[in-house]
Structure 1
Amino acid sequence: MNQNQNQKSHQEQNTTNSKLLLYLPVIHSGYVKLLEKYPESEIFILDESLISLIDEEFDYLRKEIRSLSPNQAKLALKALFPERKISLLSVEKFLEISSQQIQEKPKYILPNEDIFVWLQKKYLTHKFVEFEPTFLRWNRNNSTQKKQIESSVEISEDEFSKKMMDVANNQKKLSSDWWRQVGAVVIKGNSGSSSKETIEKTLRDEKIIAIAHNTQLPTPYSPYIDSDPRNSFHKSENIDLSTAIHAEAALISKAAKDGVSLLDTEIYVTTFPCPACAKLVACSGISKLYFTDGYAMLDGDKILKKFGVEVIRIIK
């Protein structure tokens, strides 16, 4: 028996008597690959009653506009995998399974998503559960996950980028935000020269279009007058609920107000943009984004790459 056959045999042995639980609003290749990975597992699709139970806790599954009914999902999946045992899992059946005390304990395979983590902690604590780390949909766990910025290239800090980041860092110091201070500068496309003449010409404002920092509105002192609504949330949660305007948004709105095109310009920002600001940068015409710190969330780096924005991390 060769190595591949050994691996297949070992996998099938591990999945015998296992149960794969799925929330299946749509069918795509991610689900197909998951089922192919566990060829011997019995498949349970959450039905309306179990989805409703989960949504009492999460209150967002009902908003899934793509969603097939569980029965439609079952029929479609059965067409793809006619030999597999596929059932709908109701609240009653799930509670019965979770309370069973049997000698031979089956393995429950769950996608590593918010709803299944909750189900395991609340109902399956005494069961043998394996979480499968696969991307099937956006959920509360991966929507707030911090990621390495895959699309960036890294450069050593040259004289020109150092000066531009100095401008951004000086702006950063003006921010009244107690949690995070970000500075940014947008310039006309740079030829790549780091000569003293190029730097001096840029710093004479011939090429600098705008500089900005994140600040509160309508006044920088708003959090000290009315308190800061961000205090109600954990880090990275509800980042859109804020009285602040981000540095990138301030730059782009200033350019719009002044009637200045940002086509083929470059932005230097001290911290990698949030998802909303990444989209603003992508749609503004900016061609290069330089940053030193931070991480990507949601789809920010992918959107920039899709719109042709070159992302460059400056290594100090």
Structure 2
Amino acid sequence: MSHRRPTWDEYFVEMARLAATRATCPRRRVGAVLVRDARVIATGYNGAVRGAPHCDDVGCLLDNGHCKRTVHAELNALLQCALNGVSSRGSTLYTTDFPCVDCAKALVQAGVERVIYLADYPDPNSAGVLRAGGVELYRAVPVEEPPGDAEAAATRVVLDDGDLPFARFVPARAGYRLVRDPRGA
């Protein structure tokens, strides 16, 4: 079987998953990658403020069920852009988890146009903020390898934008199917 290059979306989703391995809050290990024109402009992961102890080392600082010690992955990525003088306007955020409402507000204000996420987040207000800000939402759904001959194992991967879906065949072993989230713009 020949080597299959991942699509750009698959590549950046995997980068977000890798960034999540650096997270230092055991309650939610999230990774994020900001991309513009198929180039990474910043990455982020859940972790304590620079110089402060990590949740992994001293425990979480909980308030109303949320860890207050942690700067979220999405915000860390936006702050990296700010520190390095890089605009996030027109970018796509790839993240392991759907943004919380505070991160959603920051993403809208920073000009992020598209969010691709793996896991949903239980805050209905987040999607409303992103939709109001004109942000497109897609869920990256892992494609399972079909049974049978590995050479013949190909799966249709579809980015369905509602009007003009595009599709191509890719090996199923490492793919994601992007599904338009109707909660977005």
TM category (shorter chain) comes to 0.5 to 0.7
**2:20 aligned with 1:172:** yes
Instruction: Tell me, yes or no, if the aligned pair for 1:213 and 1:246 is still in contact at 8 Å.
Output: yes
> Could you say which residue in structure 2 is the equivalent of 1:216?
48
Q: Which has the larger radius of gyration?
A: 1
Q: Report the AA paired with residue 177 of structure 1.
A: C
Q: Distance in 1 between matches of 2:52 and 2:94?
A: 22
Q: Give the secondary-structure state (helix, strand or coil) at the position aligned to 1:253.
A: helix
Any unmatched runs of 5+ in structure 1? 1-157, 190-201
Q: Distance in 1 between matches of 2:130 and 2:110?
A: 11
Instruction: Tell me, yes or no, if the aligned pair for 1:249 and 1:280 is still in contact at 8 Å.
Output: yes
Percent identity (aligned): 23
**2:18 aligned with 1:186:** no
> Could you say which residue in structure 2 is the equivalent of 1:228?
60
Q: Aligned pair in 2 of structure 1 residues 213, 225: CA closer, same or farther (>3 Å)?
A: closer
Shift of 1:238: 5.0
Q: Report the AA paired with residue 21 of structure 2.
A: K
> Could you say which residue in structure 2 is the equivalent of 1:244?
70
Any unmatched runs of 5+ in structure 2? 1-5, 143-185
Aligned residues, how many?
Answer: 137
Structure 1 segments of 4+ aligned residues over 4 angstroms from their partners: none
Q: Report the AA paired with residue 222 of structure 1.
A: H
TM-score (norm 2): 0.67
Cα RMSD of the aligned pairs, angstroms, is 1.9
Shift of 1:314: 1.1
> Could you say which residue in structure 2 is the equivalent of 1:155?
none
Instruction: Tell me, yes or no, if the aligned pair for 2:25 and 2:56 is still in contact at 8 Å.
Output: no
**2:134 aligned with 1:308:** yes
Between Structure 1 and Structure 2, the one with more strand by share is 2
> Could you say which residue in structure 1 is the equivalent of 2:96?
270
Deviations, residues 186-223 of structure 1 (Å, cap 9, x unaligned): 0114xxxxxxxxxxxx4xxxx11011111112347433
Q: Report the AA paired with residue 45 of structure 2.
A: H
TM-score (norm 1): 0.41
Q: RCO greater where, 1 or 2, for CA within 8 Å and sep 6 or more? A: 2
